[in-house]
Structure 1
Amino acid sequence: MATDASPKYRTPDFHPVTPSAPTTLQHDGLEFWQFMIAGSIAGSVEHMAMFPVDTLKTRMQVLGASCSVQPIGVRQAFNSILKLEGLAGLYRGIGAMGLGAGPAHAVYFSVYELCKEYFSRGDPNNSVAHAVSGVCATVASDAVITPMDVVKQRLQLKSSPYKGVADCVKKVLVEEGIGAFYASYRTTVLMNAPFTAVHFATYEAAKRGLMELDPESVSDESLVVHATAGAGVCGCDRFSSGSIGNVIDTIVRKDGYRGLMRGWIPRMLFHAPAAAICWSTYEASKSFFQRLNDSANSDC
């Protein structure tokens, strides 16, 4: 009796499937414009939320310089602004920061991500690559933020002679020339470059360490991880001055070495929450674009 070799009795073809390693959301593969938008959102949210503290920091430095008795405290500066100018006084110059923070952070984070991909060569633990990428990011972004930072600081002062952003830009261009907007660029880069190198290397290391404490968080890179890692290092703050040596000499000659520490309390109050807001917003935006890309690819 012949054996029935019809298809229904044949053994199904077997294709072994190699178990894949658990996938993690790495935020890689985003388009350049997606990094820029994520960075722009992060920078705008951070600086808009923390602007009153930034104003207090600037006012404390100026008021302290004009006070020969004792340094001005946070409460004194805050009460002075509310009494003389009202709540609006805390937001003088916010328009300039609004115009500068978005583009500057778009450049900041997109350049960092591209450089990190290039220098790390696929090694997520390459701290040197993170540090070098941070330096590249600050050189590029400072070219964007420095002019608006100059405008912001001039508008933040109570005795500011300018009516607004446009008026300040126009008068500075006419009276001092375009070079006035970039007078502090070289010094700003020199001050920010080492800070940013440590900043990014520390953030990446802190993020990895926090995620290793709870492996389950690796799958979604929770907001708590990014906020905590960001707050553990300095925020996306900017420094500005004309000449390092000249500024230090002037401050020490007039106020002594304590003058160099003026405004450190609001600066510390600014750093941790600013960094937490900045990094968590940035990573959340990247996660959104990652899910958007995954959804688009699955539909293809």
Structure 2
Amino acid sequence: MAEEVDYEALPPNAGTMVNMLAGALAGISEHAVMYPVDSIKTRMQVFSASPAAVYSGVGNAFTRIASTEGIRALWRGVSSVVLGAGPAHAVHFGTLEAVKELAGGNRGGPQWLATSLAGASATIAADALMNPFDVIKQRMQVHKSEFRSVLTCARVVFRNEGLSAFYVSYPTTLAISIPFNAIQFTVYEQVKRVMNPRHEYSPSTHIVAGGVAGAFAAAVTTPLDVAKTILQTRGTSHDPEIRNVRGMMDALRVIWAKDGLKGYGRGLTPRVLTIMPSSALCWLSYEFFKAAIRTD
């Protein structure tokens, strides 16, 4: 009888492309499904002088946005995510698996350093590609956004603020994403190893491990995510102090000055609510597509 092949094993001639394709499909699935909650998170993190743009919670935000702007407003900017998420996640998972293999992360036993290094390396590459799409997305998500088209938004931001507007938040994005992905990937691998020591294809394992890993990483990195939102939406603010924010430390200072310690927790609930299921879906989709493509 032929020896059974471990579904996680990398085929010598197709491993990288399989992981990139699986990652792209997983990324699009992840972001599209949870996009409305992400829109609420963005709005809750933006400092606004307008009472109409201040929300007390996820339920309050959903009700008010749906009743005053229509439910479609929660999906505004989703096309930017779809355009960027596929290529970015392809790069992310391709880098992830390649570095993990090179660092010895596929060997038996705990491999904390290898999995952390793989997670960090993957996000450096992916975020460089995704950051401009994320800026466009958040500009379209804010209250009373003037933009309805990705191309129009990109053109206006470039014309008014220059190329730097698309990358002013990149250092902050990395400051979030490197620990986020290192934490998420490490927790995911360890939970998966405990739940599924035989390394079999197990959807329930991937859902639970992905959700736990995503929720934990999201909660830890929320303060930096608030700073990133400030940087990416600064051009829409009427507050001179926010419009002139130059970097992560400047944004953190402004948050403290305007809202104190609680300001760093803005959007925590919708961020966790977005990332926990989306991370579970992402890992489930990734493992499914990886297994399905390799069996074709």
Aligned equivalents of 2:190 and 2:49: distance in 1? 39
1:223 corresponds to 2:203? yes
Contact 2:76 2:148 in 1 (8 A): no
Match among 103, 110, 116 for residue 100 of structure 2: 116
1:135 corresponds to 2:117? no
* Change beyond 3 A, Cα 1:166–1:20: closer
1:25 corresponds to 2:10? no
Deviation at 1:173, TM superposition (A): 1.4
Q: Secondary structure at the match of 1:72?
A: coil
1:58 corresponds to 2:38? no
Aligned equivalents of 1:255 and 1:65: distance in 2? 13
1:289 corresponds to 2:278? no
Corresponding residue pairs, total: 268
Deviation at 1:195, TM superposition (A): 2.0
* Change beyond 3 A, Cα 1:37–1:47: same
* Change beyond 3 A, Cα 1:159–1:44: same
Contact 1:92 1:155 in 2 (8 A): yes
1:178 corresponds to 2:160? no
Contact 1:64 1:71 in 2 (8 A): no
Deviation at 1:121, TM superposition (A): 6.7
Aligned equivalents of 1:179 and 1:123: distance in 2? 42
- Given the two structures, how large is their TM-score scaled by the length of structure 2? 0.84
Aligned equivalents of 1:40 and 1:121: distance in 2? 22
Deviation at 1:279, TM superposition (A): 0.1
Match among 174, 190, 201 for residue 205 of structure 1: 190
- The answer for the alignment partner of 1:72 in structure 2 is 56
Deviation at 1:21, TM superposition (A): 7.7
Q: Secondary structure at the match of 2:214?
A: coil
Q: Secondary structure at the match of 2:196?
A: helix
Aligned equivalents of 2:186 and 2:254: distance in 1? 34
Q: Secondary structure at the match of 1:123?
A: coil
Contact 1:64 1:262 in 2 (8 A): no
Deviation at 1:255, TM superposition (A): 1.6
Structure 1, unaligned stretches of length 5 or more? 1-18, 293-300
1:45 corresponds to 2:25? no
Deviation at 1:250, TM superposition (A): 0.9
Aligned equivalents of 2:265 and 2:55: distance in 1? 10
- The answer for the alignment partner of 1:93 in structure 2 is 77
Contact 2:65 2:71 in 1 (8 A): yes
1:81 corresponds to 2:65? yes
* Change beyond 3 A, Cα 1:105–1:121: closer
Aligned equivalents of 2:97 and 2:285: distance in 1? 16
Residue type of the partner of 1:252?
W
- Given the two structures, how large is their TM-score scaled by the length of structure 1? 0.82
Q: Residues 153-164 of structure 1: matches in 2 within 5 Å?
A: 153-164=138-149
Q: Secondary structure at the match of 1:95?
A: helix
Contact 2:214 2:280 in 1 (8 A): no
* % identical aligned pairs: 37
Match among 247, 251, 254 for residue 250 of structure 1: 254
Residue type of the partner of 2:88?
A
Contact 2:77 2:148 in 1 (8 A): no
Residue type of the partner of 2:10?
D
Aligned equivalents of 1:197 and 1:153: distance in 2? 24
Deviation at 1:52, TM superposition (A): 0.6
Deviation at 1:51, TM superposition (A): 0.1
Residue type of the partner of 1:138?
T
- The answer for the alignment partner of 1:261 in structure 2 is 265
Aligned equivalents of 2:171 and 2:47: distance in 1? 27
Deviation at 1:64, TM superposition (A): 6.9
Q: CA RMSD in A?
A: 2.4
- Higher deviation after alignment, 108-117 or 158-167: 158-167
Aligned equivalents of 1:26 and 1:261: distance in 2? 37
Aligned equivalents of 1:81 and 1:39: distance in 2? 32
- Higher deviation after alignment, 92-101 or 251-260: 251-260
Residue type of the partner of 2:212?
G
* Change beyond 3 A, Cα 1:20–1:127: farther
Deviation at 1:23, TM superposition (A): 4.9
Deviation at 1:67, TM superposition (A): 5.0
